A and B are shown apart, each in its own frame.
Chain A
């Protein structure tokens, strides 16, 4: 044990004073501070935007006159740990309009910034660790064995009776401590920015997740140290080992993920077929509804009963005024059918999208598995999940939106909204059909006279009276007491970890394999240029 600790101590000291370590650590600390500054500013902006949208939505709900206009907007709060790993959530949107006729399958509001800056997205802490600290780990270890062999110090060490296993362990731990020290330095810089400058208060869960994220960084660096040690054993000369290390870094950190993800994306396709299916279903639905609407002539065309004012600014949302009771009864019957048919088709369309999504996902899975050979790719998956910025977290959010939609529909049913006139008009039960403004009841008006009457109705005097009445009428707002509130919380740590079980398992497997490889190879490692083999322990 004392021998091991002596070797670890020597190795760590050797690394800490080396040029490559000092330069890479300095660079990482500076970049960590910059990245965190930018991430914190971005988070603050998103949080402000989130609060503004919540307020806007709350105000909009208060002014809703009819149930068909009631389309609550659900917004996902920004994740504070998005500073550490942005993940794909920015591209996926964070806002969903809850609508009876659409099952939420996608969000809107994706990166409200500049689409022409798509390839200048900045970098986060995970990218820094992946790229710069990953490189540092390789630079610290590429000549761990081959360099010492060339200098003949390895021979000297083993000649003092130190076992080969101890040497391997000492080199591994020495390099690891040095890497972790660099990680700690950059992490401290980043955290200081988050807490002191950003004023972001991390709750207990967030702190725990952050801690585990740093543990994931440590595991990644540990793997890269093992890669460096393995390369050092494979090369005949230090310069060759360094070349291996740089190439390994290029392939593992950049090329492998890029190629694998690009291949996966091509295999997944764009889901063009599902769009066609959805369009067909929508046309089918609209055809059925058009037929149903036209079934009662009272609902189509201009007549003395129908409402002259139809406001429609949202999908399938209408506000009508000044129609007759008969007309509104007929319309109500239609809207009940529309609700049933609309919701049924919404489910079918959603199922199609889900099925297509699953098939597409499966198609690209094999290619993505290739990317999993890259520790850098694995690290990203891990930290995205821990930061709650992964695509899976987005799916959870959408699932929560769907759950909320069910609650919302239950609320509407409890109010008998679909059966009520209030679905489409805020006219009172003793409604004032527009013909009454001219002194006629709708049933007394001939079809032929409707045109003339309508013309008189549009006269400035009548319009002024209407405006005055609307201005003096008490505001007719929906009573929304009991409207469910949307609650969203990122999954807890246990769930986040469970989701990336495969990646964690791969990390452990790679550790075991590389560790075994290094130990085995070093047992047979020759001390004279790899030509003479010594099996001494």
Chain B
């Protein structure tokens, strides 16, 4: 028999990788594991898109109710009564909840504030939902990346090196003229592909489902979707690299998966929960802020009916107003300090939880999407700033009435002229742009990139040292 001479492989190391990758992919493609991973990822992403779209529709529909009541309240208002009406600042329903929900259904979304010092401004969580339901994770792309994709990577990769069949095949493969790095690169690419394909399919179906529910994404939102999708694909590399490191270091396949499963439990469940337990100890919240601004009867200052108080140009009332306003400012400052403390505590918790790569992925996704704490902070800042806008408007109207006593902001001592409801400023909320989100996510993304590089290097190093002998 006559066979041709051996070809040389030197000039095309990547051809070897390509051949090996195709083989690995062939193996994985036909396995039950891959099919299960494909089904789970696609199903969860599609269902979550449907649920989130339905929820968004319902919340957006519910919004007019709050504003309807507000419109009724200011319909026949005078300039003075505008000071007593609680003006709502509403954080709009989060359109990209399917992408990174970021606690937006739990954190406060309404800020009701009246200009009067007698009314306590309050943040409320008025979400469409059922408080009686069990606590579960919100179903979004971030959940899929953090929870399902990571476990899928471990499931597909735990025996990539140390599995008994894999080991024997490895022996035969390495006996050929291939380098170890080629073999490992092929495994990494193949397993990553088996995650990327379901993820991209799920993402496409997810977007199609949203379109079906009438949720049309803007250009900026599509950029965010792309960024988070890319994050998911990048995170998959990290997860696969971790699986390969463990597979190369632990010689028994069952132990390898046990170790990876426990790593998963620690990263996904334990570390975030533990950080929530530890943070209040490190940075406790200040005590409850007093109500302030609403005086007990014994503290009633001097208020006369306007027609009487006009005699001395409302001298007593001005003094009373100063007292009340000062008390209100002090109380409001305390309240704001408390909110800042809450946000600070939450930020610390997130940083502690970011010891877990899975949580770091979540944090990055929320920042890229403009969700999570960044969105909460923005809402708080803009809601507080809205007070000035309202004050300026009412002040302007009041100053325009020469007969008004101008005692800000006490309804009976302001202008009694009718106020045009349409002219009252309404709160608008600007979502975080994709560019700003990218800036916010720069640090966690950089950490993720470093982690991925380290894990990949560790995988290659471990595989270089891997002994293909059977388990003792």
Contact = CB atoms under 8 A, between A and B. Distances in A.
Interface of A: 19-20, 23-24, 27, 31, 34, 38, 88, 91-92, 110, 112-123, 127, 131-132, 135, 139, 143, 238-240, 242-244, 246-247, 250-251, 254-255, 257-259, 261-266, 268-270, 272, 275-276, 279, 302, 309, 311, 313, 319, 360, 364, 377, 380, 391, 394, 451, 454-455, 458, 463
A143 B106 contact: no
B139 A246 contact: no
Interface in B117-140: 123, 125, 127-139
A117 B254 contact: no
Contacts of A455: 304, 308, 311
B9 interface: no
A243 B32 contact: yes
Where chain A touches its partner, the secondary structure class is: helix
Given A34-B274, A116-B373, A458-B304, 8 more contacts: A19-B255, A120-B272, A259-B44, A262-B139, A264-B130, A451-B307, A455-B311, A458-B308
B296 interface: yes
A275 B64 CA distance: 13
A243 B258 contact: no
Given A250-B40, A250-B148, A276-B65, A88 B132 contact: yes
A262 to B, nearest CB: 5
11 contacts: A92-B131, A116-B107, A119-B106, A122-B274, A139-B258, A243-B33, A250-B40, A250-B147, A265-B129, A272-B65, A455-B311
B159 interface: yes
Contacts of A272: 61-62, 65, 128
A110 B265 contact: no
B285 interface: yes
Interface string B160-173: 00011100000000
A110 B373 CA distance: 21
Nearest to A360: B130
Contacts of A123: 269-270, 273
B458 interface: no
Contacts of B272: 119-120
Q: Which 10 A-B pairs have the closest CB atoms?
A: A120-B276, A270-B128, A118-B106, A116-B346, A311-B297, A391-B132, A20-B258, A455-B308, A258-B136, A38-B277
B268 to A, nearest CB: 9
Contacts of A116: 103, 107, 342-343, 345-346, 373, 376
B361 to A, nearest CB: 15
A454 B305 contact: yes
Given A115-B342, A116-B373, A258-B137, A243 B36 contact: yes
Nearest to B154: A246
B151 interface: yes
Interface string B284-316: 010010000010110010101101100100001
Contact of B128 (A23, A269, A380, A463): A269
B63 to A, nearest CB: 10
A23 B32 contact: no
B55 A266 contact: yes
A454 B262 CA distance: 78
A324 to B, nearest CB: 19
Contacts of A247: 33, 36, 40, 155
Most buried by A among B269, B288, B302: B269
Contacts of B258: 19-20, 23-24, 139
Contacts of B369: none
B151 A270 contact: no
B257 interface: yes
Interface string B84-101: 000000000000000000
Contacts of B165: 239
Contact of A270 (B58, B132, B353): B58
B261 interface: yes
Given A20-B254, A120-B273, A313 B376 contact: no
B2 interface: no
A246 B261 contact: yes
Given A91-B131, A123-B273, A458-B304, A246 B62 contact: no
A251 B47 CA distance: 14
Contacts of B373: 116
Contact of B62 (A112, A117, A270, A380): A270
B465 interface: no
Contacts of A118: 103, 106-107
B456 interface: no
Given A116-B343, A313-B297, A242 B62 contact: no
Which of A23, A115, A272, A451 has the most B CB atoms < 10 Å from its CB? A115
B288 A112 contact: yes
A23 B257 CA distance: 12
B108 interface: yes
Q: Which of A23, A139, A243, A364 is most buried by chain B, counting CB atoms within 10 A of its CB? A: A243
A17 B24 CA distance: 35
Contacts of A112: 288
Contacts of A242: 253-254, 257
A28 B108 CA distance: 35
Interface in B43-102: 44, 47-48, 51, 54-55, 58-59, 61-62, 65, 69
Contacts of A110: 131
A238 B258 CA distance: 14
A380 B133 CA distance: 12
Nearest to A124: B273
B411 interface: no
B350 to A, nearest CB: 8
A262 B287 CA distance: 35
Nearest to A123: B273
A318 B304 CA distance: 19
A171 B4 CA distance: 57
B349 interface: yes
A239 B342 contact: no
Given A114-B345, A117-B345, A119-B103, A275 B276 contact: no
Contact of A261 (B134, B259, B261, B343): B134
Contact of A255 (B44, B131, B132): B44
A458 B309 CA distance: 10
A279 B66 CA distance: 11
B275 interface: yes
B136 A257 contact: yes
Interface centre among B47, B280, B285, by most A CB within 10 Å? B280
Nearest to B373: A116
B463 to A, nearest CB: 20
Interface string B344-384: 01100100010000000000000000000100100000000
Given A118-B106, A463-B302, A262 B51 contact: yes
B308 A114 contact: no
Given A246-B261, A247-B155, A254-B147, A311 B133 contact: no
Contacts of B147: 250, 254
Given A117-B349, A122-B273, A311-B297, A254 B137 contact: yes
A139 B254 CA distance: 9
Contacts of B342: 114-117
Nearest to B376: A116
B151 A250 contact: yes
